[in-house]
Amino acid sequence: MFGAHRNPLGPAHRLPRHPRPRAPVNVEETLLDLHQTSTANRIGAETLQHRTTAVPGRSLPDLVNTQPGWLLEANGILHPRGSEYQTQYVVDGLPFTDNRSPSFAPEIEADDVHSMNILTAGYPAEYGRKLGGIIEVVTAGEGRQGFHGGLVASGGSFGTASGYAMGQYGWGPNTLSVSANLAHTDRYLDPPVEENYTNSGTGKNVAVHFERAFTESDRLGVIVRRAHSSFLVPNERLQQDLGQQQDRTSQETVGQLSFQHVFSTTVLADVRGMVRNLSAGLSSNPLATPILAQQDRGFRELYLKSTVSVHAGRHEWKAGIDADVGVIRESFGYQLTDSSRFDPDTPPVFTFADRRRNREQALFVQDQLRLGA
């Protein structure tokens, strides 16, 4: 038979119950974005502010080169995934498809950039044209009331010095900012010889940003930017001994306009436009060898884009249309000063001058569908 068992020591002598030790476990973000089908590398404001000082003309290419899938060739030319000249910059929502290396165009100053998003695959339908790699650049910052500013200066070897200044003032629904940059170095391009002959370069740019919030649903933005670069083409030893000097200049003027209207919490309309004038020139003195070259090239561009974004459940719809109209001009000529270095049938004198119009239109519809949590 089994009966009730009583503790002879009484209730006061029962063993105490201590709580079991617990270790809190927090779920951290994974290395992969579970909501994206491809990898997008983002460079934020903190990384931009604490970046390594770069040679004038290469601040943005050096930042992009730190990301996987990119290779920086001589003279600051970026190659995404090994492709040749297929890099597209998208500056404040507007595409720049021309070569942005230091020897071809004035740089977009990294101190003016607030964030960057870098894509090498899985491009949305709204991005067309060059698709080797896309570098999204945002220069507009957060509007704050009152006056704010910043000043950056740096110096280094090869006579390198640069300075940047920015001032921003916000009042009511308006924000106005003005920035300027000036930089110089005696090692602008990668020289062909160790002596680094004739390799000085200077770059400068000025940018003005204005934003106004008419209502909580309507916002207008205007950006005007002017940039200029000038540098000497590095000489070989023979060219230096003979006294060659080749000068190259490049200037760019850009005007951008944007307008956003929020119809509801799920519908947004965006209209953007850009007018741009880019030119570059090359001149040689009479002592140039083995060829005396002259060049004057450039293009003017008008770009318009309109998009509508709709959030519906698991879907992120976006549709839009854009148009790009441009005029390209090219004037080039040369005279051989040492014909022994060329094939016998090479013309001793050559000139070319022409211009052409370019028109492109596009329509796109895209959807991002999220499945699961």
Q: What is the pLDDT of residues 161-187, one digit of tens each?
A: 999 999 999 999 999 999 999 999 999
The alpha carbon torsion through 82, 88, 90, 96 (nearest 10 deg) reads: 150
Four-residue CA torsion sign, 50, 55, 58, 62: negative
- The share of the chain scoring above pLDDT 70, in percent, equals 89
pLDDT at residue 1, as a whole number:
44
Res 311 pLDDT > 70? yes
pLDDT at residue 91, as a whole number:
93
Per DSSP, helices labelled H in the chain are 45-49, 59-64, 237-242
pTM of the model: 0.84
**108 burial class (0-12, 13-18, 19+ CB within 10 angstroms)?**
buried
Res 372 pLDDT > 80? no
Look at the block and give the residue holding tokens 């002959």: 197
Query: Is the N-terminal amide bond of 286 cis, ω within 30° of 0?
Result: no
Of the candidate CATH numbers 3.10.105.10, 2.30.30.90, 1.20.120.420, 2.40.170.20, the domain formed by 40-369 belongs to 2.40.170.20
Average pLDDT score over the chain: 88
Count of beta carbons in the 10 Å neighbourhood of residue 111: 17
CA atoms within 13 A on the CB side of 106: 30
Query: pLDDT tens, 341-365?
Result: 999 999 999 999 999 999 999 999 9
